[in-house]
Structures are given as structure tokens and as C-alpha cells.
């Protein structure tokens, strides 16, 4: 493989680090903050999407769409739960 480590690849690696970090956080933390968990997953999916727009891999791009969608749903659920707890 002779692919250079260009800026889209570095952005994608940062996205990968976010997603792996969020998964480690979910696995290792006694109690998780849903905003941190889902926000980190959303950031990771966004960074990977930027990378995939330059180095297109359609299967991975579809995966990141769903990953980001689930993260957004998690953030909405957490936000609604926060509002309900305040009432």
C-alpha cells in the first residue's frame, strides 16, 4: 500500500480515536455522561466522514451516516431526559 498520510487521513485517524475513546469510556467508566459519550461519537463520525469524502469508501460512509444518526438520537434522548429531570 502506497497511500500517503495526507490531511484527510489524519482527520480520519482523529475520528477513529474519538470513536474508540468513546467505546473505552462506555466500557470502563462506572457511570457515563451521555452528552460526552454521544458527543464524542458524533464528532468521530463527522471527522471520519470528512476523510471518507476525500478517500471514498461507500460502505464506510454509510456506516458513519448511521453512527452519526444514532449519536444524534442519543444526544436528543439525553437532552429530553435532562429537561424531564429538571421539572
Q: Is residue 62 part of a domain?
A: yes
Q: Is residue 1 part of a domain?
A: no
C-alpha distance across the termini of the chain, in Å: 57
What is the structure's pLDDT at 1? 63
Number of domains in the chain: 1
What is the structure's pLDDT at 2? 73
**Rounded Cα–Cα distance for residues 4 and 46 (Å):** 21
What is the structure's pLDDT at 78? 95
What is the structure's pLDDT at 83? 73
pLDDT in tens for each of the 87 residues of the chain?
677 799 999 999 999 999 999 999 999 999 999 999 999 999 999 999 999 999 999 999 999 999 999 999 999 999 999 877 776
Q: Is residue 32 part of a domain?
A: yes
What is the structure's pLDDT at 4? 76
Check: pTM over 0.75? Answer yes or no.
yes
Q: Say which residue the cell 457515563 belongs to.
A: 32
Q: Is residue 2 part of a domain?
A: no
- DSSP structure class, residue 4: -
Phi, psi of 79 (to 5 degrees): -65, -45
**Rounded Cα–Cα distance for residues 66 and 49 (Å):** 11
What is the structure's pLDDT at 63? 97
The domain of 37 spans 7-86
Amino acid at each position: 500500500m502506497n497511500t500517503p498520510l495526507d490531511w484527510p487521513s489524519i482527520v480520519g485517524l482523529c475520528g477513529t480515536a474519538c470513536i474508540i475513546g468513546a467505546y473505552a469510556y462506555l466500557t470502563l467508566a462506572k457511570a457515563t455522561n451521555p452528552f460526552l459519550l454521544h458527543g464524542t461519537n458524533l464528532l468521530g463520525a463527522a471527522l471520519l466522514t470528512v476523510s471518507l469524502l476525500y478517500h471514498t469508501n461507500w460502505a464506510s460512509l454509510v456506516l458513519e451516516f448511521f453512527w452519526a444518526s444514532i449519536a444524534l438520537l442519543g444526544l436528543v434522548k439525553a437532552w429530553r431526559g435532562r429537561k424531564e429531570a429538571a421539572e
